[in-house]
Amino acid sequence: MYNAGGGRKSPPPIEPMKENMNPDDTQLSALLHQGRVSPPLPPRFQESVWRRIEDAEATVPSTPGLSWLDALAALVLRPRFAYATVTALVVAGALLGAHQGAQLAKQDAQARYVAMVAPNALR
């Protein structure tokens, strides 16, 4: 891309794109639809899809290698049970926290009562 004088040639000018396309052209539209490739589905495609869905929703098989904890985790981590599991764990945590807080408050109240009744006996 050099000219005879050793200098660089300039690239050819870019021509603007011709705007002769009509979006309502029925012949062009039909030709484009004919050129669209839609590969055929494999044989028994729909059956295999439904079988995979049913297998995913089936209960966890009892395998000798899996412990009861692994089976429980597999069941709980399914999308159907995940939200219910999280909700149950949050409620259980809140209830256990409230129970422990009540026990701690009771012990604190008992210690303050003993300190008021017999302030020098425990020191």
What rounded mean pLDDT belongs to the chain?
A: 80
**Averaged over 18-38, what is the pLDDT?**
75
Say if residue 113's pLDDT is above 80.
yes
pLDDT in tens, 49-104: 988 888 877 765 556 667 888 888 888 888 888 888 889 999 999 999 999 999 99
Residues 6+ apart with CB under 8 A from 10: none
Provide the terminal-to-terminal Cα distance of the chain, rounded to the nearest Å. Answer: 101
Three-state DSSP state, 84: helix
**Domain coordinates in residue numbering, the chain:** 82-123
The DSSP-derived string for 37-75 is: --PPPPTTHHHHHHHHHHHHHSPPP--TTS-HHHHHHHH
**Averaged over 19-24, what is the pLDDT?**
66
pLDDT value at residue 64: 66
**Averaged over 22-46, what is the pLDDT?**
80
Q: Check residues 17 and 33 and name the one with the higher pLDDT.
A: 33
Q: How far apart are CA 74 and CA 10, in angstroms?
A: 68
pLDDT value at residue 123: 54
